[in-house]
Amino acid sequence: MTRQENQAKLLDVADDFGTAMLVTHDHAGGLRARPMSVAELTDRGELYFVTDARSGKVDEIAADERVLVTMQGSTKQVELQGTARIINDDAALEARWSKALDLWFPDGPKSGTAVLVKINASSGRYWDASGAAGLEFVWEATKAAVQGEKIDTDKAGDHGAARFA
């Protein structure tokens, strides 16, 4: 596949998820993951989350912008690596606001504490074992089990990697 096709496939798989795990570097040098609701995923590999400006992840991103985002379901998985930055812009926040966010910010997008976390993906990987790819996975798994062999993961499902500009 071409670079554009790999990007499109990765983003297509990622678009199926409403929640992701955002992994940042904590102040002790460790990794910290937390679930986040996806506010927007663009065709350029930009991912937006809404968070509280006073949260630990905001400080962690200010200290180290490198992040990892993972998404996983029963038949699809995505990993995105990139950099994050905090955006404190009422218009950008309002454009990505959903009613569900009112649970965390009852005063809405102009609460004064809501900010955007923007991820600029530099690369990513996807695994898709749904649809025809899922049937292929079942076939390869069954064949391996019957033959007493390890499954050939290159033939099991659709997977690939992409780089973003």
pLDDT tens track, the chain, 165 positions: 788 888 999 999 999 999 999 999 999 999 999 999 999 999 999 999 999 999 999 999 999 999 999 999 988 999 999 999 999 999 999 999 999 999 999 999 988 999 999 999 999 999 998 755 555 666 566 666 777 777 666 655 677 888 887
Contact 33/79 with Cβ under 8 angstroms?
Answer: no
CATH code, residues 3-128: 2.30.110.10
The domain limits of the chain are 3-128
Angle at 15 between CA 20 and CA 73, to 5 degrees: 55
Measuring CA to CA, which residue among 83, 81, 79, 93 is closest to residue 159?
79
Find the DSSP H helices in 64-165: 90-95, 131-147
